[in-house]
């Protein structure tokens, strides 16, 4: 059976350019990039070239790129660093503002930080209102953490630092893991202090991420035990993963590759949404226009997500759901709950750099049959 992979928002397939760039550093070049011998200089040059490539994709300076093992580590570093910075300078636990639709990496990190927490709600499209952030600002606010794009419904967010937050001595963090590689990013334009990204969301390798740290800002490191990454993240860098990260980023900055991929992803997902919502009782969640181009979230009336996922999987199609059945958490989707829509019956379908119309044909052929069959079983 031919398998159809439509779960790129969870993790995308590895780009050939990234794999080819990684292989020499898996086979031949093994040295620590912090060493002065010739072997170390080879890996140091490769690491710094990858840093430049990632910076170019994100409109940042190379020195603003701190390599991490994942987007999750980058998020935790941002939260830890902001709260620790506050407590080094002031008394009290500090205060954090975030939104109800953040990734669990953000929500778990801020809850564990010990800081007082304000969680901003969202509208039915999954978008927060910047005025609500301004209303929540306090003299002891240490961090505002917001997402660039929602990981479940795809809605793009108004992430630019607000005017009211501008003069305050707080850090502004953007979780851009779902948006990087899919929507244009110019780090300086956000007026943010910190930004988290992940390689595997757009065709880089797993195990590679980065935290953008605004030039001149110093925050306490989460991982200590070495002076790597200019003393901002201890531990030997995973050179093959970072080189693959850089190669994937570089591919997107060549010519008009970025706009071509984004345009094709939007065409595919618009086709998918139009045909899927023609099925009775199926609706689309999230903003249909201001969104990442590669993701569509569907609500399916009267059928739980688990049997739909299993039915599609039996027909060779891999998709995802934010509902409890498809994740480690035994609860409905907190994203959809915050939006005020059905949190038990959602399906997330996402395309990638190598998705074709044939992949969509397979999904659109199987989806109505699976849904109708399950409804008949339930009615019976």
CA–CA gap between residue 2 and residue 176 (Å, rounded): 33
Pairing of strands 282-285, 346-350: unpaired
* Contact indicator for 322, 349 with CB cutoff of 8 Å: no
CA–CA gap between residue 52 and residue 339 (Å, rounded): 38
CA–CA gap between residue 187 and residue 18 (Å, rounded): 23
* Contact indicator for 296, 272 with CB cutoff of 8 Å: yes
Pairing of strands 282-285, 295-300: antiparallel
Closest CA to 30 of 21, 39, 38: 39
- Tokens coding 121: 């709600």
First-last CA distance in the chain = 30
- Tokens coding 220: 């306490």
CA–CA gap between residue 253 and residue 249 (Å, rounded): 7
Half-sphere exposure of residue 369, counting CA atoms within 13 Å on the CB side?
A: 11
Question: Residue 290: how many CB atoms within 10 A of its CB?
Answer: 15
Q: Which of 283, 325, 368, 372 is catalytic?
A: 325
Residue located via tokens 């910075």? 85
CA–CA gap between residue 325 and residue 126 (Å, rounded): 21
Has 325 been annotated as catalytic? Answer: yes
Catalytic residue numbers read 325
């Amino acid at each position: 059976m031919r398998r159809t992979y439509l779960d790129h928002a969870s993790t995308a397939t590895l780009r050939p350019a990234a794999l080819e760039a990684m292989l020499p550093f898996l086979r031949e070049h093994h040295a620590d990039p912090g060493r002065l011998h010739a072997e170390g200089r080879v890996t140091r040059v490769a690491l710094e070239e990858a840093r430049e490539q990632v910076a170019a994709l994100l409109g940042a300076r190379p020195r603003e790129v701190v390599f991490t093992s994942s987007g999750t580590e980058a998020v935790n570093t941002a939260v830890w660093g902001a709260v620790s910075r506050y407590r080094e300078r002031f008394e009290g636990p500090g205060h954090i503002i975030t939104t109800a639709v953040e990734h669990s990496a953000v929500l778990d990190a801020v809850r564990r930080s010990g800081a007082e927490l304000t969680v901003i709600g969202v509208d039915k499209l999954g978008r927060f209102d910047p005025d609500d952030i301004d209303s929540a600002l306090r003299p002891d606010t240490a961090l505002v953490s917001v997402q660039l794009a929602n990981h479940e419904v795809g809605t793009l967010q108004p992430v630019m630092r607000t005017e009211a937050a501008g003069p305050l001595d707080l850090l502004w963090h953007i979780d851009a893991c779902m948006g990087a590689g899919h929507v244009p990013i110019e780090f300086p334009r956000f007026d943010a202090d910190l930004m988290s990204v992940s390689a595997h969301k757009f065709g880089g390798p797993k195990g590679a991420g980065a935290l953008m740290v605004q030039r001149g800002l110093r925050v306490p490191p989460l991982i200590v035990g070495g002076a790597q990454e200019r003393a901002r993240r201890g531990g030997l860098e995973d050179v093959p993963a970072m080189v693959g990260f850089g190669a994937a980023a570089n591919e997107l900055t060549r010519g008009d590759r970025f706009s071509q991929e984004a345009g094709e992803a939007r065409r595919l997902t618009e086709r998918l949404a139009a045909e899927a919502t023609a099925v009775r009782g199926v609706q689309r969640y999230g903003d249909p226009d201001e969104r990442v181009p590669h993701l569509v979230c569907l609500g399916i009336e009267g059928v739980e997500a688990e049997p739909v996922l299993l039915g599609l999987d039996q027909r060779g199609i891999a998709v995802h759901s934010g509902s409890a059945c498809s994740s480690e958490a035994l609860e409905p989707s907190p994203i959809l709950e915050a939006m005020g829509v059905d949190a038990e019956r959602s399906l997330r379908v996402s395309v990638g750099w190598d998705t074709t119309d044939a992949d969509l044909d397979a999904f659109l052929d199987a989806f109505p049959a699976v849904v109708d069959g399950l409804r008949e079983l339930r009615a019976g």
